[in-house]
């Protein structure tokens, strides 16, 4: 018997569409930390508390694992041999990991040149067949959708697969468990709009079983160059430094709009500059390294706070969807490079010009 955390399928069995034939696949995903952002909270208004749901600590480094474990388990249950997905990076890393675990083949289509290096490295390491298409995510998704429609034994594991959202909703249960209540606001980056829909479903389920907990307002943040849910218009050529949300035509748009409307929340956009500033702030002030897309939600919270959006005493949870280590290129873009010096204390002291206390 294992006494620790046993992964999404076992821990949330009562809330998931499992049957006796569903294999209890796991890489011990879920149960990620909720970290209070003590420094950033002070920038948000009187008594406002910001918490970070650090999903970058899932086994493949993003929240995608919560839904992928269920989608792949269900694919096995249905007798599939192969899973496919289009991906801005993290879906492919996660699909490849769980396919490897389950003994399935995995094919991923990614937009050529627009996937962070670490994510590509993961898909390759986990043994997926990786194809880089000369097009964007939306085009790649259209191709794999058609592929899976033509062939019964190939299962599509993008977030049009309903099991993805079922698995992902478990994060909302964890947030309520850790806070002892629902937050007043849930801030989240929005790409294909699956995760915001999944969180809303989770919060609604928790609320149904315990109405004293209430439900948060859902704040969905998109990058200014890829903001179809803010502008109401599909974006043909989405562009942003936050490659994980570089999506112009979100497949879950209707569900996401419903989540925002029902909860009394909003969609808002943030510029790449604001995203990078939040990315650096998170790392430097809180010691939390999240990827650019994740930082878009924190950028959004900072932007709303500047216009006095948050009532005093509000509790905000911002979902940090992916791990900063996945995107070393954007991290190095910050500009600071290590000084290269001889291996001598004198040389180092001289270079630091007394920056060190006591030398
Ligand atoms: C997939 C992803 C998103 C966007 O999630 P959607 O469900 O597509 O809206 C945001 N951030 C990261 C790091 C992701 O991998």
The model's pLDDT over 184-210, given as tens digits with 9 standing for 90+, comes to 999 999 999 999 999 999 999 999 999
**Ligand 1 contact, 244 CB (< 6 A):** yes
Q: What is the pTM of this model?
A: 0.95
Task: Give per-residue pLDDT as tens, 50-77.
Answer: 999 999 999 999 999 999 999 999 999 9
User: 30: buried, middle or exposed (CB in 10 Å: 19+, 13-18, 0-12)?
Assistant: buried
Q: Which residue's C-alpha comes closest to atom 15 of ligand 1?
A: 90
| Tokens 């060190």 -> residue | 356
Portion of the chain with pLDDT greater than 70, in percent: 98
Q: Which residue's C-alpha comes closest to atom 14 of ligand 1?
A: 244
**pLDDT grade for 359, boundaries at 50, 70 and 90:** very low
pLDDT of 122 over the 60 cut: yes
Range with lowest mean pLDDT among 146-155, 194-203, 254-263, 269-278: 146-155
- What is residue 12's predicted lDDT score, i.e. its pLDDT? 98
Q: Is the dihedral of CA 195, 175, 207, 263 positive or negative?
A: negative
Q: In what order do the strands lie in the sheet with 34-36?
A: 34-36, 49-54, 315-320, 185-189, 217-223, 266-270
When pLDDT is averaged across residues 165-191 and rounded to a whole number, the result is 98
Closest Cα to residue 242, out of 189, 288, 195? 189
Between the CA of 91 and the centroid of ligand 1 the distance, in Å, is 8
């Amino acid at each position: 018997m294992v006494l620790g955390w046993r992964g999404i399928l076992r821990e949330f069995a009562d809330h998931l569409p499992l049957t006796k034939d569903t294999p209890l696949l796991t890489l011990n995903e879920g149960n990620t930390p909720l970290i209070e952002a003590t420094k950033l909270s002070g920038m948000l208004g009187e008594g406002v508390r910001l918490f970070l749901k650090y999903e970058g600590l899932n086994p493949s480094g993003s929240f995608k694992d919560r839904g992928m474990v269920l989608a792949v388990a269900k694919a096995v249950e249905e007798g599939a041999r192969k899973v496919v997905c289009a991906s801005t990076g993290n879906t492919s890393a996660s699909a490849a990991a769980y396919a490897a675990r389950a003994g399935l083949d995995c094919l991923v289509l990614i937009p050529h040149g627009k996937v962070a290096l670490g994510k590509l490295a993961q898909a390759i390491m986990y043994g997926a067949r990786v194809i880089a298409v000369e097009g964007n995510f939306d085009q790649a998704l259209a191709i794999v959708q058609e592929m899976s429609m033509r062939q019964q034994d190939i299962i599509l594991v993008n977030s049009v697969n309903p099991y993805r959202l079922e698995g992902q909703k478990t994060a909302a249960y964890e947030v309520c468990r850790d806070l002892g209540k629902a937050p007043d606001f849930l801030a989240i980056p929005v790409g294909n709009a699956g995760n915001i829909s999944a969180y809303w479903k989770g919060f609604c389920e928790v609320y149904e079983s315990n109405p004293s907990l209430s439900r948060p307002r859902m704040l969905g943040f998109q990058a200014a160059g890829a903001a179809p849910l803010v502008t109401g218009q599909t974006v043909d050529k989405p562009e942003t430094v936050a490659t994980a949300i570089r999506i112009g035509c979100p497949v879950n748009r209707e569900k996401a709009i419903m989540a925002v409307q029902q909860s009394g929340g909003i969609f808002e956009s943030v510029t790449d500059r604001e995203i990078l500033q939040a990315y650096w702030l998170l790392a430097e002030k809180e010691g939390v390294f999240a990827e650019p897309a994740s930082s878009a939600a924190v950028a959004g919270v900072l932007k709303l706070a500047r216009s006095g959006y948050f009532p005093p005493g509000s509790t905000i949870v911002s979902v940090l969807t992916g791990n900063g280590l996945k995107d070393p290129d954007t991290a190095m873009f910050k500009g600071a490079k290590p000084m290269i010096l001889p291996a001598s204390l004198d040389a180092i002291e001289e270079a630091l010009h007394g920056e060190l206390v006591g030398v």
